[in-house]
C-alpha cells in the first residue's frame, strides 16, 4: 500500500506513478479510469495497493527477448497496482473489510462448534488448525 504523489502517462494511456520514496508503480489505464483519470490528467494524491509481477521483455521489433545462453524469456520485476483509491482512508477501509471477514468466519465456526457440544479444548484445537 502506498500513496501516489506524482507520475506520467505512457503513449498507450497507462500511468507510472511514484510514491514519496520514488518507487515506480505501473497502473493500467482501466484502473486509472476507475477513479475518473484520463490520459494527460495531472494524476496525483491517491492511494494504491500493489503486487510484484515478473513480466516478459520485448525487443525494438516487439518480439519477446530471450536470454542468448539459456534460451529462456527475459523477465523483469514490475510493481503493479491491483487497486486504486481516492484516499488512504478508503484504502485502509478496504483492507480492514477484507481482514474482518476472517474474524467473522472464525466467530461463526466457534459458535457452531459450541452449539454442537464440542469442548473448549476441542474448539481451540479446531480453530488453531482452521485459522
Contact 75, 54 (CB under 8 A): yes
Q: What is the DSSP letter of 23?
A: -
Which residues have C-beta within 8 Å of that of residue 91, sequence separation ≥ 6?
Answer: 1, 47, 48, 49, 83, 85
Per-residue pLDDT tens over the stretch 70-87: 999 999 999 999 999 999
Name residue, grid cell 520485448.
Answer: 58
Instruction: Report d(CA 103, CA 126) in Å as an integer.
Output: 15
Domain ranges within the chain, ordered by starting residue: 2-86, 97-131
Identify whether the C-beta of residue 10 lies closer than 8 Å to the C-beta of residue 17.
no
Q: Which residues contact 93 (CB under 8 A, 6 or more apart)?
A: none
Cell of 1: 500500500
Task: Give, for all 131 residues of the chain, the pLDDT tens digit.
Answer: 999 999 999 999 999 999 999 999 999 999 999 999 999 999 999 999 999 999 999 999 989 999 999 999 999 999 999 999 999 999 999 888 877 888 888 899 999 999 999 999 999 898 888 77
> Structure pTM?
0.72
How many alpha carbons lie under 13 Å from residue 36 in its C-beta half-sphere?
A: 4
Contact between 77 and 51 under an 8 Å Cβ cutoff? The reply is: no
The answer to whether the CB of 29 falls within 8 A of the CB of 68 is no
Angle between helices 88-115 and 120-130 (to 10 degrees): 140
Amino acid at each position: 500500500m502506498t500513496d501516489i504523489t506524482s507520475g506520467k502517462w505512457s503513449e498507450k494511456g497507462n500511468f507510472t506513478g511514484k510514491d514519496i520514496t520514488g518507487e515506480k508503480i505501473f497502473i493500467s489505464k482501466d484502473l486509472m479510469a476507475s477513479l475518473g483519470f484520463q490520459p494527460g490528467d495531472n494524476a496525483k494524491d491517491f492511494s494504491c495497493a500493489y503486487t510484484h509481477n515478473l513480466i516478459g521483455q520485448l525487443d525494438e521489433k516487439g518480439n519477446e527477448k530471450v536470454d542468448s545462453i539459456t534460451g529462456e524469456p527475459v523477465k523483469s520485476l514490475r510493481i503493479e497496482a491491483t487497486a486504486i483509491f481516492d484516499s488512504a482512508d478508503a484504502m485502509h477501509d478496504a483492507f480492514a473489510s477484507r481482514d474482518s471477514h476472517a474474524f467473522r468466519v472464525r466467530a461463526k465456526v466457534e459458535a457452531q462448534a459450541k452449539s454442537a457440544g464440542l469442548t473448549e479444548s476441542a474448539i481451540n484445537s479446531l480453530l488453531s488448525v482452521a485459522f
